[in-house]
Amino acid sequence: MDTIRIANMRFYGYHGVDASERDLGGRFHVDVELGLDLSRAGESDNVADTVDYKAVYDLVARIQSENRFQLLEAFAHHIANAILSEFEVQEVTVRVRKMSVPLGGLIDHAEVEITRRPK
């Protein structure tokens, strides 16, 4: 299986457990890894034989902007399920990072990673 990675998509969103996080918003970064066979695209050099990166980005951006998730887990889950519904991939891994997390101390970010396959 081959891999396409779209790394560090950056968004400003209104996700979080605390109401203040959903009101004020914050920075979120998303990585997507798609597992699929890329041999046909490698031979043809035709975008129709692979997954369109812009279409994946647009899908993630739409999910991010149209929702207010409490949990990073739900955010990542919705992205993974949408990708599996929209694109012909054998596996998807999604990482969602929240850059400002109110934990009472200093951290770089909190991150959730999930991997899903078609059912």
Mark whether 54 is an active-site residue.
no
Q: What is the overall mean pLDDT for the chain?
A: 95
**Domain ranges in the chain?**
2-116
pLDDT tens track for 41-68: 999 999 999 999 999 999 999 999 999 9
Residue 22, burial from CB neighbour count under 10 angstroms (0-12, 13-18, 19+):
middle
Mean pLDDT of 13-21: 90
Question: Which residue among the candidates 41, 98, 100, 103 is catalytic per the annotation?
Answer: 98
Give SS3 for 13.
Answer: strand
Residue 49 burial (CB count, 10 A):
13
Looking at this protein, which amino acid is placed at residue 11? Answer: F
CATH 2.10.70.10 fits 2-116, yes or no: no
